[in-house]
Amino acid sequence: MVEPHPTVLDGKLTYVSSKPSSGAAIGGIVIALGLMLVFAKGATGTVVTPAGAAGLLIALVVLAISLLLTVMRRWTVEFDLTGQKLTISQSLLGRPNTIVFDCPLDECIRVGTMEYRNEGGASYGAYVELKQGGKYSIPLPNGTLRDVSLAVSHLVRATGIPRFDTVA
């Protein structure tokens, strides 16, 4: 269940994406090393020229690195209630946060829930939309529409930002 009332510390409502798991990183590294061994030994049994295999190997390594960087990224959305400010930041591989966006709360047009339709059914999330354009996801644990809606309701009461729920 999603925590509808996150802890307010120092007048800040903070939402942080889940901590990257080391299992995903280790899995990605194992896959990349396995691919390198398979193509280095030529054990694929396919008719690929050495130059083609090297190009394919490089492409697969780049894809594996890209996957690792995506998995190891952690997002933070912070609503400063006393300073009336929104800060969106990310950290990569445990490094300190890099600020992606920083603006006053009155730059926020709306917050709301969003439904994402996928193969396994529907999933729900929260977002904040800015005057300058663009919607930014608010990291919440996976939950039901009711759970996410409660979290957004709390955010609306705390910040005064208008609410608008959408379906993607």
Instruction: Tell me the per-residue pLDDT of 18-45, one tens digit each, with 9 for 90 and over.
Output: 765 555 556 666 666 766 666 565 545 5
Torsion angle defined by CA atoms of residues 146, 151, 154 and 155, in that order, rounded to the nearest 10 degrees: -130
Instruction: Tell me the per-residue pLDDT of 100-127, one tens digit each, with 9 for 90 and over.
Output: 888 898 999 999 998 888 787 888 889 9
pTM: 0.65
Distances (CA, A) of 128 to 7, 77, 82: 19, 10, 19
CA distance 86 to 135: 13
